Chains A and B, each alone.
Chain A
Amino acid sequence: MKKIFEVARWEYVEKIKTKTFIISLILTPAILILFSIAPTMLTDQEVTHTKTIGIVDTSGLYIKGMKDKLSQYTIEDGQPNYIVINLTSKNRSLEDLKKSADKDVINEKIEGYMLIENAGTDSVSLSFRSKSLGNHKDVSRFETAFNEIRIKIRFDKENIKPYLLDYISQSVELSQIKIEESGRETTHDFLLTFFSSFIFIMLLMMMILYSGGMLIRSLVEEKSNRLIEILISSCTTNELLSGKILGLSALGLTQIFIWIMIGISLTGTAVVPLEAFNNILPILVYFILGFVFYTSLFVGIGSVVTSEQEAQQITTYLSFLLVLPIIFVLPALENPDAFYIKILSYIPFTLPSFMMLRLNISPVPLWEILSTILIMIISIYLMIGFSAKIFRIGILSYGKRPTLKELSQWLKEK
């Protein structure tokens, strides 16, 4: 036992001092923060110039209304956001007007124009014609304005009181409330859930990749300079393996601890939503179990590797396995009860990420939490056994990488 701790301490102390560790400690959350803020920052950017928008409406029913509605919008310095110009003239045909308006768009006289066809009938249609597909915000404003005017025209015709219009145009939004066993209720926000699940899965992935890579590199070093021979003439391979797993897990815990500290200090800000901490306890358990599981796997695989390049290759293959849950984040959010999500949350390789995901989306029954934790613990135990067998022989085989057949022979050996 003492030797396990001796190995663990060495792995922990020597790795924590490395520059790469310190860099990853800071870089990982920095990247995540960047990923979570950047999109919102970019879309929220203020419009800085006035847009000239044309309108073609041979019926003339909408022109004034649209002008009024769109002039409400202003940009930063109080200038109007849109200048609406009427491109319709009575004695020209629709085709003709379209042609000349299209020309104006191409010559950049106007940003684009709205074409209203069959106005006054039930088959009225609205299109926006521009060089590039319109900005989402602009288009939805045009649409709202148009529809309000359309209803108003009809109301006027039917002599309905205008205040009813306001009533109709107000719609009630459905808000989703997640009921938790404690009786607490939280507002369900798609984006927040997405990001809080995403953050943990990403953190787990980056941590595993980073420390797995580090582990493999150090194994390659020990193998190439035959330090491994001194090591295993000083302790058993199991002690060495357990020590390495323990040391790296401690390293991982340190990292998590520091990240949580960073997270807490940023809570409530746009970067770290409070929701991210809702299920922090079970999430942490899955996080740690997942990390230990993958570390055990890496120790086994790493012992087979004989060169730096191979180490790179293998880390890349394994990273595909880790990215898998990320792909499933969106479908899982849309349908958290899907059968395959349940299945994937019981397979040790994907279990941690999917349970973290499920915990964030909907309440998970206690028995499921306990059974998955148990599965994870058993898997770690089996994985250590598996790795130990490969490790025992792998660390002493130099030169060429063993074939799968050889590997399976190693596993059979007592």
Chain B
Amino acid sequence: MLVVKNLRKEYKNVVAVDNISFKVDGGRIFGILGPNGAGKTTTIRTVLNIIKPDSGQITFNGKPITNEFFNIIGYLPEERGLYRKSKVIDVILYFAGLKKIPRKKAYSEAKCWLQKFEIEQYIDKRIEELSKGNQQKIQFIISVIHNPKLLILDEPFAGFDPINQILIKEMILSFVTSGKIIILSTHQMETAEKLCPDILLMNKGKEVYNGTLNNLKRNFGVNTVKIEFDGDAEFIGSLPAVKNIDRYSNYAEVQLDEDVDPSEFLKILVDKISIKHFSVLEPTLNKIFIDVIKQTQTQ
């Protein structure tokens, strides 16, 4: 279990991370979410021992972090890049060596991973000869080749095509079943929603929400319906029951006042336009995210 307590990091005149605390259990993916500049990367960097926090403690399985900790972390940074002029296998072996994996073992592991990603034919190629997607796969391999106990992934899906995104997602899920502690930082809410049962929502260095995804949805749950229709729906926005509307030409997401029953609302509509589809929506993480961030910004 990774425990972070009262983490604080201040740069010249900005507080990048302000009193952040969280716990991550093995076998669950912990999502750190937030808009750009929220302090996600700084939080990750302090956990990784890359930068020293001004205050706060980080413990792993009850023990403070030491240099030995380096060997059990895997880190995929947001900005990707490798030694362009070097050979794929050399680069992988170098980073595996830095994690104290014996060369022979690292070599067989590397082959195995390259096969999983179906890029074993590039083993002796220079990094610069590979496509961007394949370079990212190499980078992913580097972050997991030493079978880390703690895996930190910063925007792991960025830059992958949908097929490879599925591949990566499956691999991450397989790490979950093997009990790894996984921290995923992203602003792709859809993936976070699918993968992370626990989340930390950050904005401007501060914690906005910390807990399970289910709780968040319950807390921020709003009375929203989705309508597909034919006809002029401009009138909906001016109905008294409507709090907020997100309207397109034949599709709308309508947020109703809390005490309005959606089926009553439907009755009003059917008289005026032809309804093709009507459903009550669970709020998406994306929506919650936008609302919450907006709220904290106006505060």
Residues of A within 8 A of B (CB): 2-3, 6-7, 9-10, 13-14, 18, 221, 224-227, 229-236, 396
Task: Give the distance in Å from the alpha carbon of A227 to the alpha carbon of B142 in the complex.
Answer: 11
**Interface status of B284 (Cβ within 8 A of chain A):** no
Contact in complex: B98, A221 (CB < 8 Å): no
Query: Chain B, 62-93, contact with A by CB distance < 8 Å: what is the 0/1 string?
Result: 00000100110101011111111110001000
B-side residues, CB < 8 A to A, are: 45, 48-51, 67, 70-71, 73, 75, 77-86, 90, 94-95, 97-100, 142-143
Closest-by-CB residue of B relative to A235 is B98
- Chain B neighbourhood of A2, CB < 8 A: 100
The contact of A229 among B50, B82, B94, B97, by CB within 8 Å, is B50
- A233-B49, A233-B75, A235-B70 given; A225·B80 CB < 8 A: yes
What residues on A are CB-neighbors of B71 within 8 Å?
A: 234
B75 surroundings in chain A (CB, below 8 A): 229-230, 233
| B98 near A229: Cβ-Cβ < 8 Å | no
Q: List 30 A-B contacts (CB under 8 A).
A: A2-B100, A3-B98, A3-B100, A7-B98, A9-B97, A13-B90, A225-B79, A225-B81, A226-B77, A226-B78, A226-B79, A226-B81, A227-B82, A229-B45, A229-B50, A230-B142, A230-B143, A231-B98, A232-B49, A233-B50, A233-B70, A233-B73, A233-B75, A234-B95, A234-B98, A235-B70, A235-B98, A236-B67, A396-B45, A396-B51
Chain A residue contacts of B67, Cβ below 8 A: 235-236
Task: Tell me how far the C-beta of B139 lies from the nearest C-beta in chain A, rounded to whole angstroms.
Answer: 8
Sort A-B residue pairs by CB-CB distance and give the 8 closest, nearest first.
A225-B81, A234-B98, A233-B48, A6-B97, A226-B79, A233-B75, A229-B77, A10-B94
A contact residues around B48 at 8 Å (CB): 229, 233
| Residue ID in chain B nearest A225 by CB atoms | B81
**Residues of B close to A13: CB separation below 8 A:** 90
- Are the CB atoms of A221 and B99 closer together than 8 Å? no
- Bound Cα distance A235, B80 (Å): 19
Contacts of B77 in A (CB 8 A): 226, 229-230
Q: Is the CB of A18 within 8 A of B85?
A: yes
Q: Is the CB of B70 within 8 A of A221?
A: no
B82 in complex: contacting residue of A6, A225, A232, A235, CB < 8 Å: A225
Residues of A within 8 A of B70 (CB): 233-236
**Given the contacts A229-B50, A234-B95, A234-B99, A14 and B81 also touching, CB distance less than 8 Å:** no
- Cα–Cα distance between A246 and B77 once the two chains are bound (Å): 27
Residue contact B79 to A14, C-beta cutoff 8 Å:
no
Q: Are B94's CB and A221's CB within 8 A? A: no
What chain B residues lie within 8 Å of A229 (beta carbons)? 45, 48, 50, 75, 77
Cα–Cα, bound, A6→B67 (Å): 16
